[in-house]
Amino acid sequence: MKRMHRIFLFITLVFSSFAEGQGYDRSQPVSFSVVPLGVKGGLDESNLSAYMLASAGSNEYICLDAGTLYAGIHKAVDAGLFPGATISDVTRRYIKAYFISHAHLDHVAGLIINSPDDTAKTIYAMPYCLQVLKEKYFTWQSWANFGDEGEKPILKKYHYQEMASGEEKNIDHTDLAVKAFPLSHGEPYQSTAYLVRKGLASILYLGDTGADTIEHAGKLHRLWQEAGPLIKNGQLRAIFIEVSFPDEQPEKLLFGHLTPRLLMGEMKTLSMLAGPNAMRGLPLVITHRKPSGDQEARIRQELEANNPFQLRLVFPEQGVRLQF
Is the pLDDT at 8 greater than 60, yes or no? no
pTM of the model: 0.93
CA gap 195, 226 in Å, rounded: 9
d(CA 146, CA 68): 18
- Helix/strand/coil for 298: helix
Which pLDDT belongs to residue 23?
Answer: 81
Tell me the pLDDT band of 137, cut-offs 50, 70 and 90. very high
pLDDT at 276: 85
Asked if pLDDT for residue 26 goes beyond 60, the answer is: yes
Beta strand pairing call for 32-38 and 322-323? antiparallel
Question: What are the pLDDT digits (tens) for 99-134?
Answer: 999 999 999 999 999 999 999 999 999 999 999 999
Task: Say whether pLDDT at 314 is over 90.
Answer: yes
CB atoms within 10 A of CB 276: 13
* Range 222-232 average pLDDT: 98
Q: Return mean pLDDT, the chain.
A: 93
Asked if residue 253 has pLDDT above 80, the reply is yes
Q: Distances from the Cα of 130 to the Cαs of 34, 90, 167, 227, in angstroms?
A: 25, 24, 17, 26
Does residue 243 have a pLDDT over 70? yes
pLDDT, residue 21, reads: 52
Does the pLDDT of residue 222 top 90, yes or no? yes
**Domains (range + CATH), the chain:** 25-317 (3.60.15.10)
Q: What is the pLDDT of residues 44-58, one digit of tens each?
A: 999 999 999 999 999
The beta strands (E) that lie in the chain are given as 32-38, 50-55, 61-66, 95-99, 121-125, 158-162, 168-170, 177-184, 190-198, 201-206, 236-242, 283-287, 312-314, 322-323
Q: Which residues have CB under 8 Å from 266's CB, separation 6+?
A: 211, 212, 220, 224, 258
pLDDT higher than 50, residue 9 = no
Pairing verdict, β 236-242 and 283-287: parallel
